[in-house]
Every structure is written in C-alpha cells, then in structure tokens.
Structure 1
Amino acid sequence: MKNSLKHIILEIHRKEDKLASQNKKLIEEAYEMTTYLQNLLSSVKDFVTNDGFETDVEEIDFFRNIKPQILGKLIYYNKVYRIETSCPVNNGKLYNNYFSNQLAQLKREYIKYICNSDFYRYYRSGRTDRDTIYFKRGNINYHDGLNSIVFEMDPSFSTFFDYKTARIIANELIYTYLLTKINPAEDPDMIFQKPENSKDIFWTESKNSLVELIYALHASGAISHGKIGIRKISLLFQIIFRVNLGDLHHSFHRMKTRAGSRTAFLDQLKISLEEYMDKDL
C-alpha cells in the first residue's frame, strides 16, 4: 500500500508537467488541477478507508507526507482559480493593487493562524517525536480549542494536523504565486520580437530544462557575480530563445519536488559534454 500511495505524488507531478507543456491559461490549468486533485483525494480516501494501514509508521507517513501534498495542492489551485476569476482587470495599477491586497490578506492569515502555533514550529523544525500524536487518527484533543473545521472532518481520514500541514504547503505555493503576479516579467510581447539575424536561434529542449539551467546559473553566481535577480536572467534567455517560460517560480517548485533526479537536465549536459570530449581523444 505504501508504494501505491507514494506513486500518487509522482502522478500529480506528471499531471502538472503535462498541463504546463500545453501552455494553457492559468485559469484553465488551475481549474483542471482542482478537479483532478478533488477526484484523486476522493479515490485515495476510498483506498485508505477500505484497505487501512499495515503499520503505525505507514499511517504516520501518509498523514504527514502524502495526504497533505494532495490536499495542499488542491487548496492552492482552488485559491488560484478563485483569485484569477475575480481579478477585475488584466493589467495596470488596479491589477497590481488587487494582487497586493491578496498578498496582504495571506500574510495576515499566516500571522494569525499559522506562524505562531506550536505545531508550525514543530513541523518547520523537522521534529518527529510527537508524530504519533499529530499524525495518527483518534488523537484529536478538543481541549486545545481547535478550529471549528475539525468538526467537519471525517475522523477515519483525518488527524486534523494533516489539514494544518496541507495549509502550510498551500500557503507557500500561494505566496510564490502572488509574488510573481505583483512582480511580473517584462511585457511578454517584447520577448517574441524576432530580429532577422536571430531567427535560426531557438530552444529545442523542454521549458523545464531551460528553467533548470537558469536557476543553476543564478545559484552559482555565474552571471554578474550573482548580483542580478532570477527575473532578469530568465528574461534574457526568453529573449534569446524566443520562448515564454510563464510562471518561473511555479516551475522551479515542481522541480524541487519531482521524483528521481531534481537536476535531470544538468546531469544530461555533463554526460553529453564528456561524450563530446571523448570523441577528440
């Protein structure tokens, strides 16, 4: 059962990558992911309630690491969909004020409900000594004055703290998304101007590979001694290769959590260069 559940996280990443490769509008992507994750969570619930867990370790791992990833992204994509569909304009001062207000509201909620809690400090520190209390079912302590949402949860599929973990994950994603909206890249139309002398220069690998390369150059300080931001570096590459990378931070977050090598493109670059060097020997 454990391997089957972990496989689900890989499937979520594949679904995100597939939608990203289709260059869908953010509203469409958020709606499709919300629907997909809602159905997935329902299927996982049936799986868990019918099959149960073989060990306490398996149960703790599910409610600490697996379910919060599904629920956290469901909360995130649903929030993005609501924000995008309520946005009054497509650009300008009103647009910027709208997303700035959304960010300010997120920060207020974070301060009020998350960052000052004992559980947040526990989770952030990577502690595991109270996992049997936080991530095993049947341990909800109503004397703690918990949020009323606990009464709406199915005790056979929640420990309450798996929900709090999901909120932490969702808030981090929403925060990155809002920062990107408030500080967008330059006018996308400028990126696709095509001078005649560079019409034969274009990127032939995946967009995720280019994002990986950009972040590697930024992290290593290889460009301008690391004194310019990731946005300027990404804009340069988008202009050179005439490709729109969209939400760079979102792509990078998926890269950090993908299965297998997190630096797959850089690994392949090294192999290709070494093979090329060997040809001259």
Structure 2
Amino acid sequence: MKEFAERLLDEMHRELSQLALNTTHELQRTEQSFQIAESAMQQLKAYMKDFEFQSVQEEILFFKEIKPQFQRELIYYCELMYIDANKPVGSKKCMIKYYHQVMEQIQAFFGRNHLLYTYYRMGRSDQDELLYVRETDCVPLIPDYSLDFDSSFTTINSSKLGKIMAFERVCEYLTQTIQALEYGVPVIPEQKSKHLWTESKAALIELAYALHSRGAVNNGKCDVKAIINSLEQLFNVEVGNFYRTFQSMRIRKKNRTSFLDNLKLSLEKRMDETDLEY
C-alpha cells in the first residue's frame, strides 16, 4: 500500500509541476490541476477498495499521512476555483474586502477544529489511535458532516486534516494576493524549478540528513528541515513526514544508507570509466 501510494503521489506532484511550468493561464492551470488531483484520488480509492490493513500502525499511516496529502491538493485547487468564480467585479478595495472575508471563513474553520489543528501543528502522535483508526474514530463535540461518506476510505479526522492542510495553502495564496493588490502590483506566480526529483523521497531525505550531519550547509548552522525545504523547492517534490521516514531508516538492520552507498558506487564507476578513456 505504502509503495503504491508513494508512487501515485510522486506521479501527481510531477504532473502538477510540469503543468505549472507549461501553462501560463492561471484559471486553466487551476482547473487542470484539480483534474490531476481528482484522478489521483480516484486511483487511490480504487486501490484501497479491497485492501486490508495489516496493523493499526499501517492504518494510522494511511489516514494521517498518506490520504490527507492527496486530499490537500484536491481541496486546494477546488477552493481556488470557487474563490475565482465568486470574485466580485469592482474596485481594488472591493476585491481586498472579498479576500479578507474568505480568510475569515477559513479562520472560523480552524477555530471550530482547534483541537485537531493544534494537534497537527504540534506534530503530536499520542492520540493517533483515537483520531485516525476507523473503529475508534473520535466523534467531534460539535456535530459535523463530511462529503466523504465512504467509511472504508475515511475517518472524520483524516478528512478534516486534509482540509486543514489545504486551507493553510489557500491562506498563503490569499495573503500573497492581498499584498499584491495593496501594493498595486500584479500577482507574480511562484517561480518553479525545472528540475524534477526522480529518485524516491526516502533517498532525498537520506541525502538531506547526510548534508546536515556533515555540516555541509552554512557551516553546520542550518537545521535539517531547512535543507529539506530547499531540496523540495529545487526538485519540485514534497517528502511529507521526513522525521518518520528517517526513524524508519534508522532502525533498519541492513542498508540504512542505501541511496548514499549507491551514489558513491555510481560516482566511482564513472571515475573508473573516465580513467579508461585516457
């Protein structure tokens, strides 16, 4: 399950990155991005239809870390289309007021779900079995509903987490848009790198931790999260919960640094082949 989901997630992010590079029309790019995310979610749901979790930890992994990443993209682009469709035609002041109203609605959602939001922001895991396992799904104190009614493919809090993650991105977009309007300049899309990471996400995490451990960035005065963020931007990839991946790598009995080991072998092979040419 994990391998399939990671490949699907990588493919989705790769398609989204390529679309961002090749499509300049903002509304068209948003609509096509939504279609890419929707297709990925449908493929994930089809795969999980007959899948049975082998442990509680595997179920938590899916509902806390895997599915919300797909849902974040789907909701994010859906919200951007909704915001644009309801955008008023009028003065700059009218536009700014509208975007602030949308921000207030999002903040109200965060407020209604402040316990889950705080739990997520703090990176906690002590209540995971209560929040992300279907049979013990925590019922909210305030009645709520979800458009995702398939009990085999959701927990209430997994769906809300995906929405929280999406709304955080929407807030970033709205903040940039408001600032651009206030300063009287057009919104400049984020410059995307043209490079794509084609190894596994675990490989990038392994590289980032090696650079951090070596003190190779800023004379060692740079935390691993900053290094990973830089690599993510450079290679158009999102690695997700890198700390959890690193812990999994750390407890391996063999091949704890398989990517770095193979990287060294590849470089030595190239050196040897270059020597033979001379």
TM-score, with structure 1 as normaliser: 0.62
Equivalent residues of 2:9, 2:40 under 8 A apart: no
Unmatched 5+ residue regions in structure 2? 195-216, 218-228, 243-278
Match of 2:113 in 1: 114
Q: Is 1:182 matched up with 2:178?
A: yes
Distance 1:70 1:97, change over 3 A: same
1:99-155 CA distances to partner (integer Å, 9 max, x unpaired)? 2222233223322x222x2x22222221212212211222234474441338x6211
Q: In the alignment, residue 38 of structure 2 is paired with which amino acid?
A: Q
SS at match of 2:134: coil
Distance 1:186 1:20, change over 3 A: farther
Distance 1:188 1:72, change over 3 A: closer
CA distance in 2, matches of 1:143, 1:121: 15
1:174-200 CA distances to partner (integer Å, 9 max, x unpaired)? 1001011101176459x9xxxxxxxxx
CA distance in 2, matches of 1:147, 1:87: 27
Aligned pairs, number: 203
Report runs of 4+ in structure 1 exceeding 3 Å deviation: 141-146, 185-189
Report the identity percentage. 25
Distance 1:121 1:15, change over 3 A: same
Distance 1:188 1:102, change over 3 A: closer
CA distance in 2, matches of 1:37, 1:103: 23
TM-score, with structure 2 as normaliser: 0.63
Unmatched 5+ residue regions in structure 1? 192-205, 211-219, 221-250, 263-281
Q: Is 1:170 matched up with 2:166?
A: yes
Q: How does 1:117-196 map to 2 (within 5 A)?
A: 117=115, 119-142=116-139, 144-149=141-146, 153-184=149-180, 187=185
Equivalent residues of 2:10, 2:237 under 8 A apart: yes
Equivalent residues of 2:16, 2:36 under 8 A apart: no
CA distance in 1, matches of 2:143, 2:125: 21
Equivalent residues of 2:13, 2:237 under 8 A apart: yes
Equivalent residues of 1:138, 1:155 under 8 A apart: no
Q: Is 1:208 matched up with 2:192?
A: yes
Match of 1:258 in 2: 237
CA distance in 1, matches of 2:186, 2:122: 40
Distance 1:94 1:186, change over 3 A: closer
CA distance in 1, matches of 2:90, 2:21: 23
CA distance in 2, matches of 1:186, 1:20: 24
Distance 1:125 1:10, change over 3 A: same
CA distance in 2, matches of 1:149, 1:74: 15
Q: Give, in angstroms, the shift of residue 15 of structure 1.
A: 1.8
Equivalent residues of 2:76, 2:170 under 8 A apart: yes
Match of 1:13 in 2: 13
Equivalent residues of 1:64, 1:135 under 8 A apart: yes
Structural RMSD (CA): 3.3
